[in-house]
Chain A
Amino acid sequence: NAGVTQTPKFRILKIGQSMTLQCAQDMNHNYMYWYRQDPGMGLKLIYYSVGAGITDKGEVPNGYNVSRSTTEDFPLRLELAAPSQTSVYFCASTIAGDIYNEQFFGPGTRLTVL
């Protein structure tokens, strides 16, 4: 199993540009998450999904959108990039979010908005 994969690893965007961060998992997990990690600030939840077709906002959803058309994929969309969105983005998954199961993280995407 590849586990949780993310692409790209690095990206530099100009203010106002758009992009999609890709996330995929091959563990048949139904719960998936997007976090952002700013220096010294821990991990903040952006959006999460409990299954295909179901998504919901986390702590910091403004400026982002998600979709979940399949169990495997959970892309994160930035429509109008702003410098405040410079961060490291992690995707994670777990088999079920409401019982005591480990969340597995992807390798992360480092995004810089200039």
Chain B
Amino acid sequence: GENVEQHPSTLSVQEGDSAVIKCTYSDSASNYFPWYKQELGKRPQLIIDIRSNVGEKKDQRIAVTLNKTAKHFSLHITETQPEDSAVYFCAASKRGYGGSQGNLIFGKGTKLSVKP
């Protein structure tokens, strides 16, 4: 089955710097890669996602890149702010295949700390 590895497990940056979180996946048939942000004590919330037919997607200070050949995708946060401090999870799934194959497989998370 699919396996998602996420690095680093913790990341500390100064406010205004950029942060990059990387994930690799094992199943070449995976085609949907969402990123979730979880603030302390709160529920995970989707912040951005990318499909396998796209190499990069941006939403203001957040971008995600996908390298299908290498089977890895990354989250980039520019001009970090203290409110970006949270745990970030990547995930992968095979949408369109039906049944359990559409289920999300999550990475173990990255705890991002942005220091003022």
Instruction: Point out residues on A near B: beta carbons under 8 Å.
Output: 33, 40-45, 48, 50, 56, 58, 90, 97-100, 102-103, 105-108
Complex: how many Å from CA A43 to CA B96?
22
Query: CB < 8 Å: which of A58, A100, A107 contacts B43?
Result: A107
Is B76 in contact with chain A by the CB < 8 A criterion?
no
Given contacts A100-B51, A102-B34, A107-B43, contact A41 B108 (CB under 8 A): yes
Residue of B nearest to A40 (CB): B108
A-B complex: 7 closest residue pairs judged by Cβ atoms: A98-B102, A105-B43, A42-B106, A42-B108, A97-B102, A43-B106, A102-B46
Contact A108 B43 (CB under 8 A): yes
Given contacts A97-B102, A98-B102, contact A105 B44 (CB under 8 A): yes
Please give, as numbers and ranges, the residues of chain B lying within 8 Å of A98 by CB-CB distance. Answer: 95-99, 101-102
19 sample A-B contacts, Cβ–Cβ < 8 Å, listed by A number: A40-B108, A40-B109, A42-B89, A43-B89, A43-B106, A44-B106, A45-B104, A97-B102, A98-B96, A98-B97, A99-B96, A100-B32, A102-B49, A103-B34, A103-B104, A105-B43, A105-B45, A106-B43, A107-B42
Chain B 85-116 residues near chain A, CB threshold 8 A = 89, 95-104, 106-109
Instruction: Point out residues on B near A: beta carbons under 8 Å.
Output: 6, 9, 32, 34, 42-46, 49, 51, 89, 95-104, 106-109
Contact B95 A100 (CB under 8 A): yes
Query: CB < 8 Å: which of A56, A100, A102, A105 contacts B100?
Result: A56
Residue of B nearest to A33 (CB): B103
Contact B107 A42 (CB under 8 A): yes
Contact A90 B108 (CB under 8 A): no
